[in-house]
Amino acid sequence: MKIPSVQLQGFFDPQGSVSILIARYSRIKLREMCSLLDPCHSCFTQFVLPSAAITHMLRLSDIFVSYGMIAALKGVSLEVREGEIVALIGANGAGKSTTLMSISGITGLMAGTIAFKGRAITGLPSHEIVGLGICQVPEGRHIFPRMTVRENLEMGAFLEDTRRLDEDMARVFAMFPVLEERNKQLGGTLSGGEQQMLAIGRALMSRPKLLLLDEPSLGLAPIIVSRIFKIIEEINRQGATILLVEQNAKAALRLASRAYVMESGRIVMQGPASGLANDPGIKKAYLGE
Ligand SMILES: Nc1ncnc2c1ncn2[C@@H]1O[C@H](COP(=O)(O)OP(=O)(O)OP(=O)(O)O)[C@@H](O)[C@H]1O
Ligand SMILES: [Mg+2]
């Protein structure tokens, strides 16, 4: 099967995030593509944890990630319960995106484990992690600029089921009417806010149980930011659990029920979002107060 060049270009995206979508594109041989991404993925193992341990939707236990000599995550543990919005905040380079990419299987772990609904997903290839119901909206959106809005959304779907595709497309259009209006327009010609909506809409096409959002407000005007945050709230109300990475800590702490604060690859604080929002140290470091 010939892979259109626009997709190959996305496949080698240095963030690795687009690769999840490519790997899901049903006409492509998934395993071959994943082995191209990371040879380790082809020899993954999996096992089921004892049922007594199943209390959280997502649990990261003491994970370590390095990029060559650079230690990006130095023993990160966090948990997300079903139905929650959990915020992960921290300065540039703290390791927030690396945490999300580890959950998505894009970045391999040096040590530690990640479990989803009581099942270890450590080492699973990205497309299998998406298949389990975890979908990431990458930092910087990474939509396909030379594909139409509709084609971008199709890239997030399981194309073999056309009835489901139509249903999911209708659901995304109901949430983002502007995407329906512009469904024939090229992704690259959308505004920044519309591109963010497209990136979120594309993720929703896979009906995620857990949505990982990386800096959804980045670079957007305040009025668009508040729209995006309302949409995140609505997605959560409709049933998806959300792990939200944000530099807009104020907005994130308002939206989330719990939050974690990262510094230099470690979780340094955690607790109810309202409590963190009132913490003098957090106010000074992250809320500009
Ligand atoms: N592909 C890479 N190669 C080498 N180092 C990397 C790579 N990606 C990230 N890093 C490093 O890992 C650390 C964590 O980066 P990460 O992108 O996870 O931080 P972040 O909290 O998401 O930052 P930001 O808020 O700027 O998005 C940083 O020191 C960064 O320079
Ligand atoms: Mg980041």
Q: Examine residue 61 and state whether it is found in any structural domain, yes or no.
A: yes
Question: Number of folded domains in the chain?
Answer: 1
User: Distance from the CA of 264 to the center of ligand 1, in angstroms?
Assistant: 10
Q: Nearest to residue 236, comparing CAs of 105, 101, 57?
A: 57
Domain that holds residue 55: 11-286
Residue 5 has pLDDT above 70, yes or no: no
Does residue 246 fall inside a structural domain? yes
The binding-site residues of ligand 1, defined as CB within 6 angstroms of any ligand atom, are: 67, 70, 72, 90, 92-98, 139, 247
Q: How much is the mean pLDDT over the chain?
A: 83
CATH code for position 84: 3.40.50.300
Q: What is the pLDDT of residue 160?
A: 65
Three-state DSSP at 192 gives: helix
Question: What is the percentage of the chain residues whose pLDDT exceeds 70?
Answer: 80
For residue 70, what pLDDT is reported? Answer: 95
d(Cα 71, Cα 67) in Å, to the nearest integer? Answer: 6
User: How far from the centroid of its chain's Cα atoms is residue 75's Cα?
Assistant: 20
More confident call, 168 vs 29: 168
Query: How far is the centre of ligand 1, averaged over its atoms, from the C-alpha of 215 (Å)?
Result: 13
Kindly give the distance from the C-alpha atom of residue 93 to the centroid of ligand 2, in angstroms, as a whole number.
7
Spatial distance between the Cα atoms of 208 and 8, rounded to a whole number of angstroms? 24
Q: How far is the CA of 95 from the centre of ligand 1 (A)?
A: 6
> Distances in Å between the alpha carbon of 10 and those of 99, 136, 155?
21, 15, 11
In the beta sheet, which residues pair with residue 242? 85, 211
Structural domain contains residue 274? yes
Protein residues within 5 Å, CB atom, of ion ligand 2: 97, 139
Q: Which of 202, 200, 206 is nearest to 220 (CA)?
A: 200
Question: Does residue 3 lie within any of the structural domains?
Answer: no
Nearest ligand 1 atom to the CA of 91 is 25
* 101 Cα nearest atom in ligand 1: 18
Residue 231 Cα distances to 147, 203, 223, angstroms: 24, 13, 13
Q: Which residue's CA is minimally distant from atom 11 of ligand 1? A: 72
Answer yes or no: is pLDDT of 161 > 90.
no
Q: Whose CA is nearest to atom 3 of ligand 1?
A: 67
287 vs 72: which has the higher pLDDT: 72
51 pLDDT higher than 80? no
The token pair that represents 59 in the structure block: 């649990």
Answer whether residue 1 is part of any domain. no
116 near 57, Cβ under 8 Å? yes
For residues 255-281, average pLDDT: 95
4 falls within a domain: no
E strands in 167-257: 210-214, 241-246
Question: The pTM is what?
Answer: 0.83
> Model confidence over 124-158: pLDDT tens digits?
999 999 999 999 999 888 899 999 999 999 998 86
Q: What are the tens digits of pLDDT across the range 216-228?
A: 999 898 899 999 9
pLDDT in the model for residue 11:
34
